[in-house]
Amino acid sequence: MARRPSLPCAVVGILLLALLPSPSTAGDPDLLQDICVADLTSAVKVNGFACRAAVTEDDFYFKGLAAAGNTNNTYGSVVTGANVEKLPGLNTLGVSMSRIDYAPGGLNPPHTHPRATEMVFVLQGTLDVGFITTANKLYAKTISAGDVFVFPRGLVHFQKNNGDTPAAVISAFNSQLPGTQSLAMTLFTASPEVPNGVLTKAFQVGTKEVEKIKSRVAPKKS
């Protein structure tokens, strides 16, 4: 019996790659039903949240972005999230939003979103914004009311209000729970603590300076 000709290895490899999801374009996993309202109390651990049986219209409703947040804090900015934790109906839908308010001089300090790209739309005021690539290249711009700016997924970015009046943006994310890692908070308030020897060598400062930073960025006790 004659053997069937086999596909060249290169062709097989291309076919396999075509069947794999693209990590560069992937957001949250695709949904497999119309809705899957998050059961935030469930002990079941999945990539997202388990679905809740009892569903109402309020699971898809949130009015927390209408009013400005309280910016009376160390950085002079506050983020109000509309993610799956506040809006259970977002579960499996791969989107979320937030509102960020800035006092005059307020800063949303350098941070990353490990699970989402962020797009901001300026509601009011003027902001200096920027992100840094893995090649250490800074892309920065001044944006004003009506402008849009994008921060690519996982890259360190910031927003600073250098104006004399309050500013605010609406942020959109391609994840139901994008996650936020503030560089200062992550390094200087981790639990257990990052060893001082790591921080002093990384930032080329002494132990006293590290302890001073820790005391300043530590969350205030109520």
pLDDT average, residue stretch 71-87: 96
- Residue 85 assigned as binding residue: no
Q: Using 50, 70 and 90 to split pLDDT, how confident is the model at 16?
A: very low
How much is the pLDDT for 17?
Answer: 47
pLDDT at 217 over 80: yes
pLDDT at 221 over 80: no
Q: Using 50, 70 and 90 to split pLDDT, how confident is the model at 192?
A: very high
The Cα 34–Cα 36 span in angstroms is 7
CB contact at 8 A, 125 and 172: no
Q: Which H/E stretch holds residue 126?
A: strand 126-132
The Cα 186–Cα 140 span in angstroms is 23
- Residue 118 assigned as binding residue: yes
pLDDT in tens, 128-156: 999 999 999 999 999 999 999 999 999 99
Least confident of 1-10, 135-144, 154-163: 1-10
Measured CA to CA in angstroms, residue 192 lies from 184, 196, 217 at distances of: 15, 12, 16
Tokens standing for 26? Answer: 């992937």
C-alpha closest to that of 98 among 74, 121, 76, 115: 121
- Residue 157 assigned as binding residue: yes
Say what the pTM is: 0.82
How much is the pLDDT for 146?
Answer: 97
How much is the pLDDT for 24?
Answer: 45
Q: Using 50, 70 and 90 to split pLDDT, how confident is the model at 23?
A: very low
Q: Degrees (nearest 5) of the Cα angle 156, 159, 161?
A: 160
CB contact at 8 A, 31 and 92: yes
Q: Which domains does the chain have, with CATH numbers?
A: 57-179 (2.60.120.10), 186-217 (no CATH)
Q: Can you list the pairs that 209-215 forms with residues at least 24 positions away whose Cβ atoms lie under 8 Å?
A: 213/184, 213/188, 214/188, 214/189
How much is the pLDDT for 9?
Answer: 53
pLDDT average, residue stretch 80-85: 97
- Residue 211 assigned as binding residue: no
pLDDT in tens, 115-134: 999 999 999 999 999 999 99
